DNA sequence: TCGCCTTTGAAGTAA
DNA sequence: TTACTTCAAAGGCGA
């Protein structure tokens, strides 16, 4: 299996820390989602109501999470080990024997599945559809075989012009995303759900003429709108955009957790009747940690392919390109204005979870145990976080 | 109208 | 190399 020249260490899972969910309260076995749901709902609703109270009371659940951090690396190593195994298995023929039932790619229209893959129609596993009617993983679909040809004719000739940027052209990706000959131009009616506006309009179209949801106009909130809702945008809207051409922004490929969120968000919303994303994301964060290694691995693998495809399509793109696209956060501005150069910074980050005795009072007292989060009065003069997770 | 919230992970920057 | 920052999605909410 070809690895990106960059290596990046992002083989399947993340290189850096991955919080272990295996601990006293949460054993390795998968926790039934339904078991979460009611508790999630109750907790979150309760916490939403009693937010201020929550922030003042450390809780045992948070302490449990502290303990989890300790086992983190052990799990990480094992996890990587497992992922390597998965990778090797897939090397011999990606998806010939899907390691993960219900693997998101099974939602792909059949013509876009590898020859030997299981037909989606034969798969009984239900995958939650996106809130906008698009599966989270359909962002991969616009890619075509052409993108993986050794010398893609559509690729800009300056793909290597960007200083220091050269992206490996993985050739056997085509095996992952076997598409009908002819590429995008011959996208079949099975992709009728695919946005025609994206196919036709200049907005959201890769310079090569190939549409990709990662390309959006560069204008604040519209980025989001275009990215997803744009899938269903009427051509009329596109016409307006044509009149005001904006330089398209190529968005970052989604990481494993983001893919998971996209897939599961609708389900959580349905189960919990919650709409506030901040709360939903906390639930999803918990569920993410509750996933088995195998379940997480499929998202890591998927994210890796996303990145590979992204690199194939946009070889000169860098995450740096999008830096500064968003306006600077108020919190950061505030931090700048209040920062005392001589004051100790981010004691949680400095001393880590294993040296909590070195933490300042606020950091020790506040239930939030994320290693790099900071508390008001100590590391960063930020607004206290809305704590939905004190009961988690 | 737009930034914040909240999550994890990838990638970038700075020291 | 380490520490830290930014951005990716989402939608309600507040300024």
Q: Which nucleotide is nearest to A327 (CA to C1')?
A: B3
Nucleotide closest to A352 measured between CA and C1': C3
Q: Looking at residue A40, what is its pLDDT?
A: 55
Rounded to an integer, the average pLDDT of A224-229 is 37
| Judgement on whether residues A271 and A348 belong to the same structural domain of the protein | no
pLDDT per position as a tens digit, A256-286: 999 999 999 999 999 988 889 999 999 999 9
A88 CB below 7 A from strand C atoms? no
Mean pLDDT value across residues A298-320: 93
Q: A165 and A46 in one domain?
A: no
Taking 60 as the threshold, does the pLDDT of residue A310 lie above it?
Answer: yes
pLDDT in tens, A134-182: 444 444 443 333 333 333 334 443 333 333 334 444 433 333 333 333 3
Determine the pLDDT at residue A342. Answer: 34
Q: Nearest residue to nucleotide B11 when comparing alpha carbons to its C1'?
A: A319
Residue A247, number of CB atoms within 10 A of its CB: 7
CA–C1' nearest nucleotide, residue A379: C4
What average pLDDT score do residues A214-218 get? 64
The band of A226, judged by pLDDT with boundaries at 50, 70 and 90, is very low
Alpha-carbon distance of A212 to A111, in angstroms, equals 18
CA-to-C1' span, A107 to B6 (A): 28
Nucleotides of C under 7 A from a protein CB: 3-13
With respect to residue A132, please indicate whether it lies within any of the assigned structural domains: yes
Residue A204 lies in a domain: no
C-alpha pair distances (Å), A324 with each of A24, A232, A294, A319 = 42, 28, 36, 11
Q: Per-residue pLDDT averaged across A311-320, rounded? A: 92
Within this chain, do residues A27 and A133 fall inside the same structural domain, yes or no?
no
Per the structure, the residues numbered 139 to 168 in protein chain A that have their CB within 7 angstroms of any atom of strand B are: none
CA of A386 to C1' of B4 (A): 11
Which two three-digit tokens encode residue A139? Answer: 């962002």
Q: How many CB atoms lie within 10 A of CB A30?
A: 14
Nucleotide with C1' nearest the A257 CA: B8
- Specify whether A298 is located in the same domain as A361: no
Phi and psi angles of residue A12, each rounded to the nearest 5 degrees, phi first: -125, -55
Q: How many CB atoms lie within 10 A of CB A70?
A: 12
Asked if pLDDT for residue A287 goes beyond 90, the answer is: yes
pLDDT of residue A50: 42
Q: Is residue A199 part of a domain?
A: no
Nucleotide nearest to A306 (CA to C1'): B10
Q: A33 CA, B12 C1': separation in Å?
A: 36
- Its domain, for residue A358, covers 23-70+340-392
pLDDT at A388: 36
Is A229 inside a domain boundary? no
**A376: helix, coil or strand?**
coil
Among the listed ranges A106-120, A213-227, A267-281, which one has the minimum average pLDDT value? A106-120
Residue A174 lies in a domain: yes
CATH number of the domain enclosing A135: 1.10.30.10
Taking the CA of residue A356 and the C1' sugar atom of nucleotide C8, their distance in angstroms comes to 31
Same domain as A362, residue A274? no
Q: Which of A274, A295, A322 is the last residue of a domain?
A: A322
CA distance A151 to A240: 35
Q: Check whether residue A171 and residue A144 sit in a common domain.
A: yes
Q: Are A155 and A298 members of one domain?
A: yes
For the beta carbon of residue A379, count every other beta carbon within 10 angstroms: 23
The SS3 assignment for A35 reads: helix
Residues A157 and A56 in one domain: no
Backbone angles phi, psi at A211, to 5 degrees: -75, 150
Count structural domains, chain A: 2
Residue A376 lies in a domain: yes
Looking at residue A323, what is its pLDDT? Answer: 87
Under DSSP, the state recorded for A215 is E
pLDDT reported for residue A274: 86
How distant, in Å, are the alpha carbons of A110, A171, A221 from that of A284? 30, 35, 23
* Same-domain pairing of A176 and A34: no
Per-residue pLDDT tens digits for A182-210: 333 333 333 333 333 333 333 444 444 55
Looking at residue A100, its pLDDT comes to 34
Q: Round and report the angstrom distance from CA (A155) to C1' (B7).
A: 35
* Shared domain check, A188 and A58: no
Question: What's the confidence (pLDDT) of residue A46?
Answer: 47
A351 assigned to some structural domain? yes
> pLDDT value at position A44?
52
Q: Is the CB of A96 under 7 A from strand C?
A: no
Nucleotide B8, nearest residue via CA and C1': A257
Once rounded to an integer, what is the mean pLDDT over residues A38-63? 42
- Same domain as A77, residue A64: no
Q: Tell me: do A178 and A313 sit in the same domain.
A: yes
Most confident range, picked from A176-185, A236-245, A278-287, A379-388: A278-287
In a domain, A160, yes or no: yes
Q: Of A219, A162, A218, A228, give the one whose Cα is nearest residue A197.
A: A228
Cβ A307 to strand B below 7 Å = yes
pLDDT at residue A328, as a whole number: 55
Protein-covered nucleotides on strand B (Cβ within 7 A): 1-13
In degrees, to the nearest 5, what angle opens at C-alpha A46 toward C-alphas A45 and A50? 120
């Amino acid at each position: 299996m070809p690895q990106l020249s960059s290596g990046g260490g992002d083989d399947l899972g993340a290189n850096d820390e991955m919080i272990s969910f295996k601990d006293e309260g949460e054993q390795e076995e998968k926790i039934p989602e339904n078991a979460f749901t009611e508790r999630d709902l109750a907790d979150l609703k309760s916490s939403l109501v009693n937010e201020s109270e929550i922030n003042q009371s450390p809780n045992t659940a948070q302490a449990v999470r502290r303990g989890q951090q300790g086992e983190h690396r052990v799990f990480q190593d094992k996890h990587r080990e497992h992922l390597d195994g998965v990778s090797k298995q897939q090397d011999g023929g990606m998806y010939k024997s899907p390691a993960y039932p219900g693997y998101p790619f099974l939602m792909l229209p059949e013509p876009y599945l590898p020859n030997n893959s299981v037909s989606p129609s034969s798969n009984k596993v239900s995958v939650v559809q996106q809130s906008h009617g698009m599966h989270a993983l359909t962002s991969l679909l616009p890619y075509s075989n052409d993108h993986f040809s050794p010398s893609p004719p559509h690729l800009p000739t300056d793909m290597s012009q960007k200083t220091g940027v050269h992206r490996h052209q993985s050739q056997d990706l085509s095996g992952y995303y076997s598409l009908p000959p002819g590429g995008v131009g011959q996208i079949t009616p099975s992709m009728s759900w695919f946005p025609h506006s994206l196919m036709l309009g200049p907005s959201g179209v890769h310079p090569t003429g190939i549409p990709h949801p990662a390309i959006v106009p560069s204008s604040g909130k519209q980025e989001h709108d275009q990215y997803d809702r744009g899938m269903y945008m009427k051509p009329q809207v596109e016409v307006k955009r044509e009149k005001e051409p904006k330089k398209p922004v190529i968005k970052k490929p989604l990481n494993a957790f983001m893919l998971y969120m996209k897939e599961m968000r609708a389900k959580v919303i349905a189960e919990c009747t919650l709409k506030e994303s901040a709360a939903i994301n906390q639930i999803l964060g918990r569920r993410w940690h509750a996933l088995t290694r195998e379940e997480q691995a499929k998202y890591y693998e998927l994210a890796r392919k996303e990145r590979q495809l992204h690199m194939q399509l946009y070889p000169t793109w860098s995450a740096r390109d999008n830096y500064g696209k968003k306006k600077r956060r108020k919190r950061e501005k505030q931090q700048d204005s209040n920062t005392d150069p001589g004051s100790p910074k981010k004691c949680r980050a400095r001393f880590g979870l294993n040296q909590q005795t070195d933490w300042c009072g606020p950091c020790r007292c506040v239930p939030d145990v994320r290693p790099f989060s900071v508390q008001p009065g100590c590391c960063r003069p930020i607004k206290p976080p809305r704590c939905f997770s004190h009961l988690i």
